[in-house]
Amino acid sequence: MIEHNYTYTVAHCSKAVEFGLFWLLGELEKHNLEKGCILAVGKGNFCNKTNEVYKEGLGESLVKKLCDNGFVIINGKRIDLQYPLSMSLSSVGSVLAIYPHKKIVDKIEESIAHNYRLDSPYLPSINALPKSILIIPWIEFDVEDWIKIHNPNRIDIDCADHYIFGSSRK
């Protein structure tokens, strides 16, 4: 059975998004993996030029590259930008899911379970499944069941001085 490293935070500010990027790169490095992904709720939300939380958390040029190309290379690691409708988690070493609601969290787990089914004709190797997942939910109750099942590590992040999603407060 594959060992997953589950982590979450209920902070929904640019500082949490920034933490998520460094976490993603660190996980890829720690497990000697080549590819990870940022799973965003929707392209409109992520690529909207007025959304400061992503630009401040990830950097404006990184957001632009992800939106223009669908991926970016950082320190030799490929980070794909994915959306729930076209999500494919096989061959992705680590996943940073930003603001998923319950259906998307369930879809992440279903995708992993589907790819792990022994009767699947497209069974990937165990090494092709994500090793670690960080979820930054918008609302904690969206991940309550997931927390009960997987007992993830919780990371507390102070959002007081950073952009909050959907707000101009800094």
Q: For residue 140, give the CATH number of its domain.
A: 3.40.50
Q: Is residue 166, in this structure, part of any structural domain at all?
A: no
**Higher per-residue confidence, 67 vs 12:** 67
pTM for the whole thing?
0.83
Give pLDDT tens digits for 17-64.
999 999 999 999 998 889 999 998 877 778 886 678 888 899 999 999
Q: Is residue 159, in this structure, part of any structural domain at all?
A: no
Separation of CA 80 from chain center: 10
Nearest to 8 by CA among 146, 139, 165, 136: 136
Q: How many distinct structural domains can be found in the chain? A: 1
Beta bridge partners of 153: 7
The domain in which residue 66 lies consists of 5-154
Q: Is residue 113, in this structure, part of any structural domain at all?
A: yes
Nearest to 37 by CA among 85, 116, 97, 86: 97
